[in-house]
Structure formats: C-alpha cells, structure tokens
Amino acid sequence: MSMKRTNQIGLAWILLASGISILWGSSLAQKANGWWDFKAIYYGTRCLLENHNPYRQAELETVYRVEGGESPSEPIPSHQAVTLYVNLPTTFIVIAPFAMLPWGPAHVLWMILIAGGYILAGLLMWNLAANYAPRLSLFLICILLANCQMVFYGGNAAGIVTNLCVVAVWCFFRDRFALAGVLCLAIGLALKPHDAGLVWLFFLLAGGVYRKRALQTLLITAVLGLAAFLWVSSVAPHWIEDWNSNMSAISAPGGINEPGPNSITSHEPGVVIDLQAAISIVRDDPRIYNPISYLVCGALLLLWAVRALRSRFSPRSAWLGLAVAATLTMLVTYHRPWDAKLLLLTVPACALLWAEGGPIRWMALVVNAAGLLSTADIPLVILSVSSRGLHPGAEGILGKMLAVVQLRPTPLILLAMGIFYLWVYLRRPRASSAESGGFAQDSSAPANV
C-alpha cells in the first residue's frame, strides 16, 4: 500500500473516531446542562474581569446567576463545580479572551478548539508512532479518540491541555516549530500543571536542547504566573485563603473531588482515577490512602527520574520515558478520565515494542489497550451500569480487594501499565552517541504491524 493511501486511510479513521466523540458529547451537553467545567473557568474569569473575587463562592455565584448561567434543573455536583472555584490564577490569563465574549460564542469557540485539537493531536501522534507500527498505532489512537465524549460534554480544560502536550512533544521530537511547542507546553502548565507537569519534567531531565526547551517553557509559565498573581491580588488580596478554603471543601468527605467511596460521585466507577481512589476502598481514611499513594508513586517516579537524568537522549528511550510520565501522572494526585487522554503519549512506546517483536510485544499491547479502555468513556459507562448495587462494605482483606477490582479497576490497571513501562525503560540499554541525535535518525524503524 502506498504511503499516500495509508495516510488517507489514517486521516479517515481519525476523523471518524473524533467525530463520534464530538457529535455524541456535544449532543449530551445540549440536552443535559453540559459544559459545567468550562462554565467554571468562564464565569470565574468573568467574575474577576468585573472586579469580584472568583474564589469567594457568594461573589462568583452572584455573577453566575445574574448572567444567566444558572439553570433551575442544575444538579448539585455541577453547580458546586462551577461556583466553588479552585483553578490556579494562571487560568485567568488563558481564559480572559474567551471571557470577554458572551457565553454563546465563547463556549462554541472553546469546543471548536478542543475538537480541532484532538484531531490534530491524533494525526501528530500517528505521524510519530507510524514509524514503528502504523496499523497498531492507528488502532490505539482511534480507541482513545472515539471515547472523549465527556470532554465535549463537560468542556474540561484537559481537552486543551492534553492536546497541547502532544503538539509540544511533536514539535520537540521533529525539531520543527520549536517555539510553538514551548508556548503550547507553557499554556498547558498554566492551565493544568498536574497534567502537563511530568511531561515538562521529562524534557528538563533529558538534557541538551530538550532541557533548553523546558527552561524556555518554565520562563513563559513564570511570566504568566506573575501577571496572574498581580492581577488577582489587586482585585482579591486574600484570594489565597479563599482558594485554600475551596480546595478543602471539595476534597472534604462528601466533596466532589474526594477520592473516597462516600464522595458525591462515588457511585460512578472510574470517575476519579488516582491511586487514592483504589486504596480508599480498603481504608477510607486520607491519613492512610494519601501517604501510601505518595510513597508508591514517589518511589516509581524517583526511579524514572534517575533513569531519565542519567541517560543519553534517544527517541526510542524517550518514548518509554514519556509513557511512564503520562501514566504515573494519572496516579499521583487527583485526576479524572478526561485527563487520561494524555495516554495518547503512550502509543509510540507500544508501537515501538510491537515492532521490536518477541513476547514483550504482546505484553505491551495488552497493557496499553487495557490502560486506554479502562479510561475510555464508553467502557466506563458499561462498568457503571454493571456495578450498580455494589458497595465497598465487604468484610476482610479479600473482600476489600475484590471490591477494589470491581469498583476501582482503573487505578490498578494504570499502576500495572506504569510499572510495565518503567520496567522496560530501566532495563533498556543506554543510548549510544549514534542513537542520541534527532528524531529523524530514528525514522528507519520498522513500519509494519
């Protein structure tokens, strides 16, 4: 099959998979009080533009109600997600151009950017992974793109951030539009540092020109952060105390961000996918599940960081390092399935191992497919329906562990995925000087499935 024909087929499948999510998610949003995540940052920024404190719930709720954002039938979790503002001040800088527009054009433009971003991210990642296994990588990418309905339903900024991370990785690896890549990664850090942070850290540890890109990214993010801090502080001098109060409220028992089984969203398996969500089924005590999660993830991240710092950069090794970063990002702290679209960065690592052959190719495929499916919207809906009536009240350690598998399988699968890629990353020989050049030197990798 000619390269032109292959590219046409790939484009068609990526457009089809993305179209499923775009149309389905947007339809749900129109029918059922959707776009609450974008409402939060939109009305929060509108509140600040009107010289009110968005971190004070009463002031934000007044702006939200006066401007017609509140719906009489709005569920309590959605209302709380909008009016209890917890985003960092840097978000205001990025969202301000949207907040200057009326709600109608603002949210349409936001969703168009998310839709275009997913299509572009899918194409760019396939462009990189197809050097190893074009059909396999296209299959995995389409699984992810066809399961982004909740991003288009809620309008979460993760739909922007994950795509910006992919664009930045492509720019750095291809050594094209490098400054655009720096800007993309900086905006991603400004919007959601807990999504883009480990991707940025990997390039910082990688050294050479990649460390230079990471430092450039940090400089831009710092400028945005300083501007945001001065802006917010001039309007709301005590915003830090209000932000801390809001963070405590949403993370407290029963809060919308609590990982435990008694949170508002606990009846939906996979809604919170960090490691705390799994451990809390065994022991619902933040003094237990937080330290254990930090200890496990911290140990894995330490091994990853030492390996990245001591290695000579090569594209093949870097894909494994990025796969570890993308996977462990989901486990360290609070994340939801829409953040897990960052797992798009694991596709080249899987394609690489598949192309190298041997038993490990099947391990990579099973682990990667399981990770993508466990965070995919359609399988999570099926899991939610099938687990109705189940509760974590089982007695004994075996009963608790069974409850974890039934109610919180996603963190366990992601942990296995992260450990697998870390194991491969650690045991891979360090790159020689001949392998440590640009991505173009790696383009001769097998391209057959």
Q: What pLDDT, in 10s, does the model give residues 79-118?
A: 677 778 999 999 999 999 999 999 999 999 999 999 999 9
Q: What is the rounded distance in angstroms from the CA atom of residue 86 to the CA atom of residue 248?
A: 10
Question: What whole-number distance in Å separates Cα of residue 353 and Cα of residue 46?
Answer: 48
Q: How many domains does the chain have?
A: 1
Closest CA to 173 of 213, 139, 113: 213
Cα 37 to Cα 78: distance, rounded to the nearest angstrom: 8
Q: What is the pLDDT confidence band of residue 255, given thresholds at 50, 70 and 90?
A: confident
- Does residue 447 form part of some domain? no
Rounded alpha-carbon distances, angstroms, from residue 366 to 32, 64, 134, 297, 402:
35, 46, 17, 22, 22
CA gyration radius, the chain: 22
Residue 286's pLDDT band, with cuts at 50, 70 and 90, is confident
Q: At residue 117, what is the residue type? A: G
Residue 150 predicted with pLDDT over 90:
yes
176 pLDDT more than 90? yes
Question: Cβ neighbours of residue 164 under 8 Å, at least 6 residues apart?
Answer: 117, 184, 185, 187, 188, 196
Please answer whether residues 60 and 85 qualify as being in contact, where contact means their C-beta atoms are separated by less than 8 angstroms: yes
**Distance from chain centroid for Cα 40:** 18
Confidence of residue 439 (pLDDT cuts 50, 70, 90): very low
Rounded (to 5) percent helix, strand, coil in the chain: 75, 0, 25
Closest CA to 140 of 349, 440, 378, 428: 349
Q: What gap in Å lies between CA 379 and CA 361, rounded to an integer?
A: 24
d(CA 447, CA 125): 14
| In a domain? residue 313 | yes
Q: Is the dihedral of CA 272, 273, 276, 282 positive or negative?
A: positive
- What's the whole-number mean pLDDT along residues 289-305? 95
Q: What whole-number distance in Å separates Cα of residue 219 and Cα of residue 427?
A: 34
Asked whether residue 58 is assigned to any structural domain, the reply reads: yes
Average pLDDT over residues 132-154: 95
- pLDDT at site 346: 97
In a domain, 88, yes or no: yes
Q: Domain for residue 123, yes or no?
A: yes
Q: Provide the token pair at 198.
A: 């480990």
Spatial CB neighbours of 66, under 8 Å, sequence gap ≥ 6: none
Instruction: Give per-residue pLDDT as tens, 381-432.
Output: 888 877 766 666 666 677 778 878 888 899 999 999 999 999 999 988 765 4
Assigned token pair, 66 = 């006066």
- The first and second tokens of residue 249, run together, are 């409220």
| For residues 306-334, average pLDDT | 92
Q: What pLDDT does 431 receive?
A: 55
Q: Which of 17, 70, 45, 77 is CA-nearest to residue 265?
A: 77
Q: Residue 282 — very low, low, confident or very high, per pLDDT cuts 50/70/90?
A: confident
Residue 227 in any domain: the answer is yes
Token pair of 435, please?
A: 């392998």
Q: Is residue 449 part of a domain?
A: no
Contact 341, 162 (CB under 8 A): yes
Which residues have CB under 8 Å from 173's CB, separation 6+?
128, 315, 318, 438, 439
Alpha helices in 32-177 (DSSP H): 36-49, 57-66, 76-83, 90-99, 103-129, 134-145, 149-154, 158-174
The domain of 73 spans 3-442
Q: Examine residue 448 and state whether it is found in any structural domain, yes or no.
A: no
pLDDT at 347: 97
Instruction: Supply the pLDDT for residue 389.
Output: 62
pTM, two decimal places: 0.91
| CA distance readout (Å), 312 to 62, 170, 208, 409 | 55, 19, 9, 36
According to DSSP H, which parts of 192-207 are helical?
A: 193-206
